[in-house]
Structure 1
Amino acid sequence: MRKNVIALVVTMLCTLTASAQQYRLWYNSPAEVWTEALPLGNSRLGAMVYGIPTTERLQLNEETIWAGQPNTNANKTSKEWYKKVQSLVFAGKFAEAQQMADEHLMSGSNSGMPYQTFGDLTISTPGHAGYTDYERYLSLDSAIAVTQYTVNGVRYKREALTSFTDNVIKVRLTASKPGCITFNANLSSPHHDVIIKSDGKEVSLEGVTPTHEALKGKVKFQGRLAVQTKGGKTVSRDGIICVEGADEAIVYVSIATNFVNYNDISGDEAAKCKAYLRKAMADDYEADKKTHVAYFQQFMNRSKLWLGSDKFGHLTTSQRVEQFAKNNDNYLVGTYYAFGRYLLICSSQPGGQPANLQGIWNDKLLPSWDSKYTCNINLEMNYWPSEVTNLTELNGPLFSLIKDVSTTGAATAKTMYGVGGWVLHHNTDIWRITGPVDRAASGLWMTGGPWLCQHLWNHYLFTGDKEFLKEYYPIMKGAAQFVDELLVKDPNTGYLVICPSVSPENLHPADKGSKNIASGCTMDNQLVAEIFGEVAQAAAILGVDADLAARYLERAKLLTPGTIGKWGQLQEWAQDWDNPKDDHRHVSHLYGLYPGTSISPLRTPELFDAARTSLIHRGDPSTGWSMGWKVCLWARMLDGEHAYKLIKEQLKLTDDKFVAYGKNKKKGGTYGNLFDAHPPFQIDGNFGCTAGIAEMLVQSHDGAIYLLPAIPSVWNEGKVTGIRCRGGFVIEELAWKGGRITTCKIRSTIGGNLRIRTACPVKGKGLKSAKGQNPNPLFKVPVTLETKNNSEVKLNPVNMPKTYLYDIKTTANQMITIKN
């Protein structure tokens, strides 16, 4: 199809020249703790590389090594108690209601199964303790970790990768002189009763996951270790491979389990493990390295961020984090953005499991919060960057999980509540449990389905894929059906509410003490209204269920509306309970601002101001993932300076050498390897902050594509590529300097009206600036519009200070260009 081009010429004297950037994590000493090691992953396999010359350690993961076996945790007796708890809540007896819920509605001892480590690969190298000229780095351009050092005049290099194409872990050892490669390699595991043995020239490690919470583990796993060398001598004996005097060596590790899907563990782990290994060893290393890099770069190169030259390249990455607040290290922000996208590419490939609480990287049998899928923020946050930063295919594992829990959740909805549709409470695992876990204080939250469906709807908004919408519409409809049938009129307010429920993990002061159980929580209302609206819109697009759509739109009007409390805040509960000194990590009642879209400066200015008041009172420092969320929220507030302040809070160094897991109350930050610190490590903060950076640059949720809506003054110049927008538009390139847009290229993938919002006044033939609207001080030069090929362009000033709208009719694959 022929491309039409509309040139929007920005008359400026300055241009942006951004040299090609190479982002990496770089260090001048080995890792001492796990949160200093460098993460590699191909979604199925993960490795943490320590870079220790004498005894190299790679901590290893395989995505399906979880405790337990196929199971369900729906409480079969809860149906008879649910209404009793509801009555107590409506009567204001919150303490009694919460106790009853703990005793009769929860899932007892089954709170979900933990994700578990496989173990370690150790490469012991005698005589290398006196190393010098050391460096290690992780290339974010190639997904390869490198360790280099010198011993007795010989330069040694180790190159590690988790091959996307061969599906094994590889470590290549080379030296500047022949015959210098000597080492012992072995596998080990913290799992009990593993069998480690030499098997011909290879080494195998076999085991089965343990019993957890009275549920016997039945995931069988096998790992295999092999080495190929050039020259020298190789022997495998007693579970150790010994290499002596080689010119070069490649170490291979293959891991597999008997997991097939959440309801089937009949796979042959040994056959799969051997097949992966045989194929990898038959392939040429350099050839596979090229295909590995090419596969990775097809995702990585779609979006890049440059915020100026690298002024602190002499500092290691951990030093850069430590000094970030002082240095305003813009290059580190670009690195952090790249690292967030890197982590999603490496932990969520199509056909695999979704990124869990730690992505795919976990060194424990009992990790914090079991490294499960926490569905009241953390799982969803993992996928916030997926659409906007051009990684849409990586949603595949999340969409598969949504299909799974819509099936298991339908059984839970019927068993526990006697209603149709499907339910997901605040946690699930590889077995796709959907019942409430832990205590009622956190677990009695049942709107995980509507939240996950937002990702389905957003995928449609970003891509315009009607076939996808048709496929997932029944799942969206099922989530809406569940909450529709669960809604009940609150006798105290007259509004429809979900009761009992919680505002995730936060306390309210009613009933002579702090409790969680309530009714009509603001987040529930926002999620229910959203799923009703999404199903109604989807039904109209697909030409189905007109009566049902009309019902949902009417039911949405009967929900508790957003309410402004006594100190100007957006109320978290139906009652005006909010404490202005509350600094809780969850800001669930602001869901409608982000990631939702119901709170807007244009459509709901009073609620928008109230949300700002709530956000200010919650404060900035918090757990790492909470600060990532707040970057997104302040970006939606169009406040780039405050969003950047949260990035500075996020990029504060947290050191596990001095932080005891679970005992230290220190606020969150970032570890030396750029992992997010809750503390301990949770990967959602990395993804949340990455999405927040994108939101500062481009927004597309409020009826237009808003260019540079929330850039801070320290980002004086920059360039971003590959940002995706709702409506099927891609910002192929957006560059600015001194706050002025110098170049912007927008591609329409499906055609339709392109509405651009800018902060510049407009001058041009037949176009006049609206009276009383002044330009943002950052934009000092007016924009001139030129039209070609009879394309229609019109200016639509709206009631939003310092902004203007341009409407452009586009066709599929049309490019709209702004250039200097």
Structure 2
Amino acid sequence: MNLKRLLFFSSLIISISMQAWTQQAQPLKLWYDRPAANWNEALPIGNGRLAAMIFGGTDRERIQLNEETVWSGEPGNNIIEHVYDSIQQIRQLLFKGKYKEAQDLSNSTFPRQSPKGVNYGMQYQPVGNLTISFPGHDNVSAYTRDLNIADAISTVSYKLNNVSYKREMFASLNSGVIIVRITASKPGSVSFELGINTPQRIHHVAAKDKKLTLTGTSGSSDNKTGRVRFEAIVHPILEGGKLETKDSALIISGANTATLYISIGTNYKNYEDISGNPSAVAARYLSAALQKKYEADKAAHIKLYRKYFDRVSLNLGSTAQAEKPTNTRVAEFSSAPDPQLVSLYFQFGRYLMISGSQPGGQPTNLQGKWNEKLSPPWDSKYTININTEMNYWPAEVTNLSELHEPLFDMIRDLSVTGQESASKMYHARGWNVHHNTDLWRITGPVDGGFYGMWPMGGAWLTQHLWYHYLHTGDKQFLQKVYPILRSCAMFYVDVLQEEPANKWLVVAPSMSPENSYQAGVGISAGTTMDNQLVFDVFSNYIKAAAVLSLDKTFADTVKIKLQRLPPMQVGQYGQLQEWLQDWDKQNDRHRHISHLYGLFPGNQVSPYRSPALFDAARTSLINRGDKSTGWSMGWKVNWWARLQDGNRAYKLIADQLTPAPMEEKGQNGGTYPNLFDAHPPFQIDGNFGCASGIAEMLVQSHDGALHFLPALPDAWPNGTVTGLVTRGGFTIDITWKDHKPAAVKIVSGLGGNCRIRSFDELMLKDGKLKIATGINPNKLMEIADIKEPLVSPKAKSGNIAVKKVIEYDLPTKPGGVYILALAPLQK
């Protein structure tokens, strides 16, 4: 390499490093100049197992506590017996075109209210509230509270009578407890009263042995008795001062510092075993934490947290808005440029995943792990017709692969409990689950014969097993989950029905999640999303069997079934049809746009291989409109990114980063002052969906190539992202200037061919990039082999103009580092 080229690439590497450092130097904090007035202003901390909301009051602090296994009810599935004959009758009615009759039979077979002896899912419930009362601390100055998501520590500070007070709070990833450190600038100034309460009906509070203890039992609902027992222990450690007991409270007076250790245990062992000892669990965590010095535990917690968090940085630039309180920035986002708020929001999504989904624990539910209500919205269950999957969209691409594990563990559980619903309801082999599950891994229908008759939850969940394999290339993992993929495919081999018009094989009965094609009628056969999901279940299984050299006979059976699935269809309005028939309404604004699953998170719609479908998906998305529930807008960010429309994706981010309405219900979306996503009310999926969408705007790898900056909006002319991970195991850093990739760093974790796609010509540090030819041989980046779509004769002809790209093939070695740059313009 000549000296001029060497100096050029050296400067690029320095530029990437400096841009990443600048992002880390920018304060990644949510901060406020007043205490939280309500739960949607409080700040979340968590270590996966435990979670808390910090309100930051001066005269009275409230710390609302959760433990991930405190759910109502007890072990047991929710299968309704003797429904196979009814399911067969519903199929016959659907194929005869008697759709209203089919829906009526579905409704009577699966009533909206759970029938006697059956539950429609349990509730994720709170442990209680720790209260810290500070007498006389009501007229303070210099108040701030913040959540530093770079360190996962929340702080409250203020001044009173020339004394500076500070509280540091974190859910320790190191010791497994929640720690609150209270200090003052003047010795002997720390005085307060500790209390604890709970909304749980069955509970007891005791103050003895210098500890505060809350014991309780979860609630009962839907014919199931609450049997999760929990114990929370609050143990203060003082430096100076004294501690006294008063009824069910602890009084601390005249201390220099006070450190509160909050430990919680339950009797939950797994979804069918609640024989644990909550007192012993809580005591074990507490004892281990007390053996560590505060500063050592804090340092260890930060180190463990940063192991995940520091893998990815995002710098989109900054303005004076970054100096304002977070709630002000959200309120002003639509009128004042604030690219750093987008970076903060992206990283906040990653913070929530690290804080809410740790290996060995439960996956994040509808509210992550943060909930204050005994009866939260939608029970804060696992809604698996979109919401649970959306929670884990950022896992692989934003370099948090290990945090996918709790979801994998739940899928393994469901592949066991789901055998009961498959066999009893459908007389099928394998396993399935419908549109909701809970801590007890229920797999039957929930919420009746309209919303609940969707036997596709397992089909969607298993995609996450496959995504993990495509990003990691981990064949041991694939071997481990292969029986789950095989059993899921087996269920659909058994339940597919031949529809009479075209002799296609379809799922029936089912529905396009939560939507209807006639008033009150959603039950149907062969919905587009179902066809796409079964296509992926079968395709993934066939590829897994080939990789592992297993089950050729059954794989051949699946291949035959695969060929008989319906193609996707373009309807009369030029839209991607939602149903097998052309029933879409142009003015439909429904929050679910489930038939675009094939665009994202699937990879069945490509601008370069299926432009007609690409255009049809875009038409469907335009017809549905932008403003919707928070999670729906989060999904739309990803769709517009896949449609290579960065400005429309950014508009959806801006729509999401508007103040959420105070109403507790509706479909207005938006963001609360604490950056939580609003349906409303709060659902965490929109946070994760937007984080995923921002990553999709910067790099994509679903369509057979790594596409750099596929959907960069005008609002982000310059920036740097580091650490994103793609299919094929490539880790990507990109610095862009004037909307073009100035420098790209590729680290190949697995080796193999790296196909690169770019709107701009690129060059390689160590030689010329080779123009790509043929199909990418990298099996981890295979494209979907879909059927040619059917197009309605009523649809307008013509496709949208697709941006031209240049594709390169870069052979890589495991551990290899490859630097690319924008090629100079030829004179």
Q: Given the two structures, how large is their TM-score scaled by the length of structure 1?
A: 0.93
Matched residue, 1:778: none
Within 2, Cα distance between the matches of 1:794 and 1:395?
A: 35
AA matched with 1:491:
P
Within 1, Cα distance between the matches of 2:574 and 2:8?
A: 42
Matched residue, 1:132: 141
Helix, strand or coil: the match of 1:816?
A: strand
Aligned-residue offset at 1:236: 2.5
Helix, strand or coil: the match of 2:569?
A: coil
Matched residue, 2:687: 686
Matched, 1:817 2:823: no
Matched, 1:87 2:92: yes
Aligned-residue offset at 1:305: 0.6
Matched, 1:601 2:607: yes
The partner residue of 1:572 within 573, 578, 587 is: 578
Matched, 1:807 2:809: yes
Aligned-residue offset at 1:211: 1.5
Runs of 4+ aligned residues of structure 1 deviating over 3 Å after TM superposition are: 5-17, 783-788, 791-801
Count of aligned pairs between the two proteins = 784
Are the structure 2 counterparts of residues 380 and 226 from structure 1 closer, same or farther at C-alpha, using a change threshold of 3 Å?
same
Within 1, Cα distance between the matches of 2:810 and 2:820?
A: 13
Residues 435-471 of structure 1 show CA distances to partners (whole Å, capped at 9, x for unaligned) of 0011221110011111111101111100000111111
Aligned-residue offset at 1:310: 4.0
AA matched with 1:215:
K
Aligned positions of 1:13-32 closer than 5 A: 18=19, 19=22, 20-32=25-37
Matched residue, 1:291: 300
Are the structure 2 counterparts of residues 313 and 502 from structure 1 closer, same or farther at C-alpha, using a change threshold of 3 Å?
same
The partner residue of 1:362 within 346, 371, 381 is: 371
Aligned-residue offset at 1:546: 2.0
The partner residue of 1:544 within 540, 550, 553 is: 550
Matched residue, 2:169: 160
Aligned-residue offset at 1:796: 4.6
Aligned-residue offset at 1:206: 0.7
Instruction: Check whether the contact 1:54–1:128 (CA below 8 A) recurs between aligned residues.
Output: yes
Instruction: Check whether the contact 2:43–2:147 (CA below 8 A) recurs between aligned residues.
Output: yes
Instruction: Check whether the contact 2:661–2:680 (CA below 8 A) recurs between aligned residues.
Output: no
Matched, 1:312 2:318: no
Aligned-residue offset at 1:15: 5.8
Matched residue, 2:380: 371
Matched, 1:114 2:123: yes
Matched residue, 1:421: 430
Matched, 1:72 2:77: yes
AA matched with 1:259:
Y
Are the structure 2 counterparts of residues 758 and 344 from structure 1 closer, same or farther at C-alpha, using a change threshold of 3 Å?
same
Matched residue, 2:358: 349
Helix, strand or coil: the match of 1:312?
A: helix
Within 2, Cα distance between the matches of 1:273 and 1:544?
A: 45
Matched residue, 2:709: 708
Aligned positions of 1:171-250 closer than 5 A: 171-250=180-259
Within 2, Cα distance between the matches of 1:695 and 1:375?
A: 22
Helix, strand or coil: the match of 2:259?
A: strand
AA matched with 2:804:
K
AA matched with 2:648:
H
Instruction: Check whether the contact 2:653–2:690 (CA below 8 A) recurs between aligned residues.
Output: yes
Within 1, Cα distance between the matches of 2:202 and 2:715?
A: 56
Matched, 1:391 2:400: yes
Within 2, Cα distance between the matches of 1:376 and 1:117?
A: 25
Matched residue, 2:63: 58
Residues 178-235 of structure 1 show CA distances to partners (whole Å, capped at 9, x for unaligned) of 1110000111100013110113111111111121112111100011111111111111
Aligned-residue offset at 1:104: 1.8
Helix, strand or coil: the match of 1:123?
A: strand
Instruction: Check whether the contact 2:661–2:668 (CA below 8 A) recurs between aligned residues.
Output: no
Matched residue, 1:37: 42
Within 1, Cα distance between the matches of 2:13 and 2:749?
A: 32
Aligned-residue offset at 1:8: 9.9
Matched residue, 2:718: 717
Matched residue, 2:269: 260
CA RMSD between the two structures: 2.0
Aligned-residue offset at 1:282: 2.2
The partner residue of 1:558 within 553, 559, 564 is: 564
Aligned-residue offset at 1:86: 1.1
Helix, strand or coil: the match of 1:677?
A: coil
Instruction: Check whether the contact 2:268–2:274 (CA below 8 A) recurs between aligned residues.
Output: yes
Within 2, Cα distance between the matches of 1:578 and 1:526?
A: 17
Unaligned runs of 5+ in 1: 762-782
The partner residue of 2:633 within 627, 632, 648 is: 627
Matched residue, 2:784: none
Residues 642-682 of structure 1 show CA distances to partners (whole Å, capped at 9, x for unaligned) of 000100111011153xx2x23xx351010000000000000
Aligned-residue offset at 1:800: 6.3
Within 2, Cα distance between the matches of 1:680 and 1:390?
A: 29
Helix, strand or coil: the match of 2:322?
A: coil
AA matched with 1:818:
L
Matched residue, 2:770: 793
Matched, 1:754 2:763: no
* Most deviating of 55-64 and 311-320: 311-320
Within 2, Cα distance between the matches of 1:814 and 1:14?
A: 19
Instruction: Check whether the contact 2:765–2:821 (CA below 8 A) recurs between aligned residues.
Output: no
Instruction: Check whether the contact 1:9–1:784 (CA below 8 A) recurs between aligned residues.
Output: no
Matched, 1:648 2:625: no
Aligned-residue offset at 1:340: 0.2
Matched, 1:524 2:525: no
Instruction: Check whether the contact 1:6–1:816 (CA below 8 A) recurs between aligned residues.
Output: no
Helix, strand or coil: the match of 2:355?
A: helix
Percent identity of equivalent pairs = 47
Helix, strand or coil: the match of 2:250?
A: strand
Matched, 1:329 2:338: yes
Matched residue, 1:638: 644
Instruction: Check whether the contact 1:760–1:802 (CA below 8 A) recurs between aligned residues.
Output: no
Instruction: Check whether the contact 2:765–2:820 (CA below 8 A) recurs between aligned residues.
Output: no
Q: Given the two structures, how large is their TM-score scaled by the length of structure 2?
A: 0.92
Within 1, Cα distance between the matches of 2:407 and 2:688?
A: 14
Instruction: Check whether the contact 1:409–1:423 (CA below 8 A) recurs between aligned residues.
Output: yes
Matched residue, 1:771: none
Matched residue, 1:738: 738
Instruction: Check whether the contact 1:10–1:819 (CA below 8 A) recurs between aligned residues.
Output: no
Instruction: Check whether the contact 1:163–1:169 (CA below 8 A) recurs between aligned residues.
Output: yes
Helix, strand or coil: the match of 2:320?
A: coil
Unaligned runs of 5+ in 2: 776-800, 823-827
Residues 686-726 of structure 1 show CA distances to partners (whole Å, capped at 9, x for unaligned) of 00000000000000000100000001011011111110000
AA matched with 2:750:
I
Within 1, Cα distance between the matches of 2:294 and 2:677?
A: 33
Aligned-residue offset at 1:529: 0.8
AA matched with 2:668:
K
Helix, strand or coil: the match of 2:321?
A: coil
Within 2, Cα distance between the matches of 1:315 and 1:523?
A: 43
Matched residue, 2:780: none
Matched, 1:272 2:281: yes
